Amino acid sequence: MPRRAGAAASPSAAVTAAALSLPWVGGGRAAPPGPARPGPAETLRRPPVRPVSCPPRPEPAAAAGREAAMSLLSALVPLLRVYCIGLRVILHQLRRRFQPRCAPASVSPETSAQSRAGTPSLSAVFPTQNGKVAIVTGGNKGIGYQTVKHLARLGMHVIIAGNSESDGQEAVRKIKEETLTGKVEFLYCDLASMKSIRQFVQQFRAKNCPLHVLVNNAGVMLVPERKTEDGFEEHFGLNYLGHFLLTNLLLDTLKQSGTHSHNARIITVSSATHYVGKLHLNDLQSRCSYSPHGAYAQSKLALVLFTYRLQHLLTANGSHVTANVVDPGVVNTELYKHVFWVVKVVKWMTAWLFFKTPEEGASTTIYAAVSPELEGAGGCYLYNEERTKSADVAYDEELQGRLWTESCKMVGISDEASRLP
């Protein structure tokens, strides 16, 4: 009998229609695992099943925001660490400035007064160095200039290695006037260029003179992200790799110049920022995330690791050469040109009280170069003319060796250390 319009469909027809509306029926997809399928009556009461929608993908703007936040954090953490360690050093210097100190008995009354003022006359307390030769990188300004002046006053023949001919020659002229000695000269050497370093060594060797003291002093601080001539990040390339190559190229001359009673000496200038430095062996060029504070601290830590490894190799070779690293403290020099303007203003107003003078900053370097107390002693971290503990990570011999090997590859020299214990 034909069905009347508007009559209800049979239960079986309704079940079939409902089943066809479910997402797992048709299209070749299998029913999802779960309990047994409901009966006809239950199916009629259930609402249609809607397909599950995936959460919307994050907008590019949100991803960019997170990336910017992470970048800011990676720059902010090293900045805070560097300024915190700097503040600690400044407070320590301030305490020392107001502590009474006794001058050595061998010092003249004039020198005693200078010592109490915090500016000792170093030539009065160290033996003369006639006949000895020294190289000081960055010796035309700041700590380097004071180092050259005092070594020349002690009778050394000092060669200033610098990247500015005019500044270097002016420094030579002034030092000759102040010390009344002609034993100072300038040779061009750009530590940001491996080619220039090799040319400098060739020029020095052409003089056929010995080398008793090498002072690795030059450096840059908190510069914006940029590369050296050879494509290295500037802090790591100039502060560390430049001195690494220079020292290795001059090692033979230093070994020939040292004797059992008078070792040749290598002095490398680091800083307290090495305590907060992180050495990223998989990213020494700071390509992943650049922070001027982090890059600077890393270069200073690398110098400490390098010095300790170098001393180990010198001892293993039985060489009459010692290697030490010095911390000059917080010194009022031109290195602060790249700090924030607020810091520049504070420095301008308070440096006379909180910062060391360049001469005070040079005192530990000169002590390491000529003091009889350090004869034959190497692998020391020196601060305020005293042996001090460096960062714990700096004593990691495996890290020292890995950095040395990687540095040899970067500057293109053979790793003779791999054949030593």
Token output for 2: 């034909």
Quickly count: other Cβ atoms within 10 Å of residue 247's Cβ.
18
Which three-class secondary structure state does DSSP give residue 228? Answer: coil
**Which of 377, 358, 367 minimizes the C-alpha distance to 123?**
367
Q: Measured on CA atoms in the order 310, 315, 321, 325, is the torsion positive or negative? A: positive
User: For 125-170, where are the E strands, in sequence order?
Assistant: 133-137, 157-162
Question: Alpha-carbon distance 218 to 235, whole Å?
Answer: 11
Quickly count: other Cβ atoms within 10 Å of residue 73's Cβ.
10
Radius of gyration of the CA atoms of the chain, in A: 34
Question: Alpha-carbon distance 364 to 23, whole Å?
Answer: 80
Among the residues of 277-396, which ranges form H helices?
Answer: 292-317, 341-354, 358-370
User: For 237-276, where are the E strands, in sequence order?
Assistant: 264-269
Q: Please, are residues 226 and 340 in contact by the beta-carbon 8 Å criterion?
A: no
Strands 381-383 and 386-388: antiparallel
Query: How many Cα atoms sit within 13 Å of 338 on the Cβ side?
Result: 13
**Identity at 296, one-letter amino acid code:** Y
- In the annotation, is 296 catalytic? yes
**Identity at 208, one-letter amino acid code:** N
Cα distances (Å, whole numbers) of residue 18 to 31, 39, 381 = 15, 12, 83
Partners of 214 in beta bridges: 135, 266
First and final C-alpha spacing in the chain: 105
What is the distance of C-alpha 166 from the center of its chain? Answer: 28
The residue annotated as part of the active site, out of 275, 296, 336, 367, is 296
Question: Alpha-carbon distance 307 to 380, whole Å?
Answer: 9
**Identity at 43, one-letter amino acid code:** T
Question: Alpha-carbon distance 198 to 217, whole Å?
Answer: 18
Q: Tell me which residues are annotated as active site.
A: 296
